Amino acid sequence: MNRPDIESGPDAGLDLVDALALLSFLVHDTLAELAGRHELSIVQTRLLGILRDREPTMNELGRLLGLDKSSISGLVDRAERRGLVTRTASAQDRRAVHVATTAAGRRLAAEVETAFSARIGELTAGLAPSDQARLIAYATAMIARSRSDQGDHPNLEPRLRAKT
């Protein structure tokens, strides 16, 4: 018994679909867990990530996060209440509101990003550099294909500035 081509155990003989689903859940859960240690949800973390180098309007935030404007209102409300972001009136358009991070918001976002990078580093530590490069290439190819395809999902930006 125990033929080497018939593995046993929880990950035995995963097919591509299962492997990608599990990997996706793993990364997603990892981010949720690390963000949660700072009382941040994934969407709050992404909000702070987007604001790292921009001060978009509520409307732009809606497009970047793929959410309705009313959802953005609540999201920004809760973040503002915690002192993580601020609303400022637009100089050009008196209807518009710009959102920016505070120092506290930037600090939190940086902590989550650092912890996330470290954890991903641990999870991929067993892969040789050439394999890591291949993994990047595969992921990039899949992402590119999803863009060229139909839907072209709302917005996929790097890392924590990416869509949930």
The two tokens of residue 45 are 């973390």
Site string for DNA, 58-97 (x = CB under 7 A): xxx----xxxxxxxxxxxxxx--------x--x--xxxxx
- CA–CA separation, 111 and 88 (whole Å): 25
Which one of residues 70, 88, 90, 117 is an interface residue with its own copies (CB under 8 A)?
Answer: 117
The nearest distance, CB 156 to DNA, in angstroms, is 15
**Three-state DSSP class for 24?**
helix
Which one of residues 41, 86, 102, 155 is an interface residue with DNA (CB under 7 A)?
Answer: 41
Q: Does 32 bind DNA (CB under 7 A)?
A: no
The nearest distance, CB 89 to its own copies, in angstroms, is 31
Per CB under 7 A, the segment of 14-22, 37-45, 116-124, 130-138 that binds DNA is 37-45
The nearest distance, CB 73 to its own copies, in angstroms, is 22
Evaluate whether 99 touches 65 at the Cβ level (below 8 Å): no
- CA–CA separation, 43 and 32 (whole Å): 9
Would you mind telling me the total number of residues written for the chain in this entry? 164
Give the DSSP H or E segment for 144.
Answer: helix 129-148
Q: Does 48 bind its own copies (CB under 8 A)?
A: no
The residue among 32 and 120 lying less far from DNA, judged by its C-beta, is 32
Q: How far is CA 96 from the centre of its chain?
A: 26
Evaluate whether 36 touches 111 at the Cβ level (below 8 Å): no
* Binding site residues, DNA, CB under 7 A: 41, 43-44, 57-60, 65-78, 87, 90, 93-98, 164
